Amino acid sequence: MKRLIVVLCVLCSIGMAVTANGTKEESEKSSSKVNFPAKPIKIIVPFAPGGGTDITSRIFADAAGKDFFNGQPLVVENMEGGGAVIGQTYVAKTAPADGYTVMLLTSSAINNSILKKVNYSYKDFKPIIMVNPDAEIVVAPTKNAKFKTMKELIEYAKNNDVLVSTPGHSSGHHIRALNMARLMGLRFKYLHSNSAAIQVQQLMGGHCDVAFMTISESTGALSDGSAVGLGVMSTERVSTVPNVPTFKELGYDGWVDGASRGFAMRADTPENIYNYLVAEFKKVAVSKKFITKMSDAGMLYAADGPGEYQKYLDFTADAITALKDVLLGAKK
């Protein structure tokens, strides 16, 4: 009888230990879920304030407010320099892989890792979501304008140098201008800067002949009359610039291109944190507040998940790799 009581006591003790341990594990899981994030999440924008990347990030952060991410805000920090290399290097190699640092991702991360001497690869970033597809547009300043239509630009550039403003050597905009010059036999020279905001200043001052930008970056200059749109690289006219014809309308088939802005983080971020952020970013991207703010700013919006976004990144990387020799020879 005594032996039976002892055995029952041991079994009860084991059962209580298992139950307590199980409760502890569940509590820890629940606690980790609630405790991340326990502080604001930083969004690194590797460009100067005022451009499309900066605007997209700030609209997204404002739309999130404190309604998502466990009540923690998203804080935008500009870390420009080196055509986005400084900010990208920081996120890929310096910032802790703890989920508290996210980066505004553009094709510049691909261009830089393939064309420049950097210590990171575009594969060091894991995409979270793409939120802003933004078509490429060619604009000309109204001050000291040499042409007002795409036809005038092309005819002029076949026999004369045209100074093209870009937000940086090997940027997506520079690459599109190089392709256009190569395929159409145009004499483009380049005026590189560090941001779209500087490009707008160049347009307003008549310091360039044309600028390659995105729709969202050019809207202000177009609306105040500082610039005129010559052509947009989209499948159809864009509602925010309805008077600007598409390249296709003008007889140039195949010219559909632009920037795709989204968010990414270090590829070695723990999977549970990454999955949590993917889910939360998606909630913000499809929220009425974000969609309304993007529409009010004249910007397109989307909510493409990691899989779809990764396909775009890999496709772009393949294209840049194919153009590598041409781009590395275009140092002027």
The CATH number for 77's domain is 3.40.190.150
Which pLDDT belongs to residue 327?
Answer: 77
Domain count, the chain: 2
90 within some domain: yes
Q: To the nearest whole percent, how much of the chain has pLDDT over 90?
A: 62
Q: Which of 105, 193, 107, 181 is closest to 138 using CA atoms?
A: 181
Clarify whether residues 186 and 212 are in a common domain: yes
Clarify whether residues 154 and 239 are in a common domain: yes
Clarify whether residues 75 and 143 are in a common domain: no
Clarify whether residues 139 and 254 are in a common domain: yes
Q: Are 115 and 324 in contact (CB under 8 A)?
A: yes
25 within some domain: no
| Domain region containing 320 | 41-133+259-328
Confidence band of 134 (pLDDT split at 50, 70, 90): confident
pLDDT in tens, 247-302: 999 999 878 788 889 999 999 999 999 999 999 999 999 999 999 999 888 788 89
Which pLDDT belongs to residue 32?
Answer: 42
pLDDT in tens, 178-196: 889 988 999 999 999 988 8
Which pLDDT belongs to residue 44?
Answer: 98
Clarify whether residues 125 and 263 are in a common domain: yes
What tokens appear for 37 in the block?
A: 């994030």
pLDDT in tens, 9-63: 444 444 444 444 444 444 334 334 548 999 999 999 999 998 889 999 999 999 9
Q: Which of 263, 215, 205, 220 is closest to 236 using CA atoms?
A: 215
Clarify whether residues 282 and 243 are in a common domain: no
Task: Kindly state the DSSP code that residue 183 receives in the 8-state scheme.
Answer: H
11 within some domain: no
pLDDT over 80 (residue 330): no
Clarify whether residues 310 and 162 are in a common domain: no
Spatial separation of the C-alpha atoms in residues 212 and 179, rounded to whole Å: 12
1 within some domain: no
Clarify whether residues 145 and 127 are in a common domain: no
87 within some domain: yes
282 within some domain: yes
CATH code of the domain covering residue 220 = 3.40.190.10
Spatial separation of the C-alpha atoms in residues 203 and 139, rounded to whole Å: 9
168 within some domain: yes
Spatial separation of the C-alpha atoms in residues 320 and 40, rounded to whole Å: 35
Clarify whether residues 67 and 182 are in a common domain: no
189-193 long-range CB contacts below 8 Å, 24 or more apart?
189/161, 189/162, 189/163, 189/164, 189/332, 190/163, 190/164, 190/166, 190/330, 190/332, 191/163, 191/164, 191/165, 191/166, 192/166, 192/167, 192/168, 193/165, 193/166, 193/167, 193/168
Clarify whether residues 166 and 237 are in a common domain: yes
Which pLDDT belongs to residue 24?
Answer: 41
Spatial separation of the C-alpha atoms in residues 103 and 258, rounded to whole Å: 19
Clarify whether residues 191 and 302 are in a common domain: no
What tokens appear for 95 in the block?
A: 């910032």
Clarify whether residues 125 and 264 are in a common domain: yes
Which pLDDT belongs to residue 331?
Answer: 52
pLDDT in tens, 139-175: 999 988 899 999 999 999 999 999 999 998 878 899 8
Of 230, 258, 286, the position where a domain reaches its end is: 258
17 within some domain: no
Of 239, 258, 277, the position where a domain reaches its end is: 258
Which pLDDT belongs to residue 307?
Answer: 94
Of 258, 277, 304, the position where a domain reaches its end is: 258
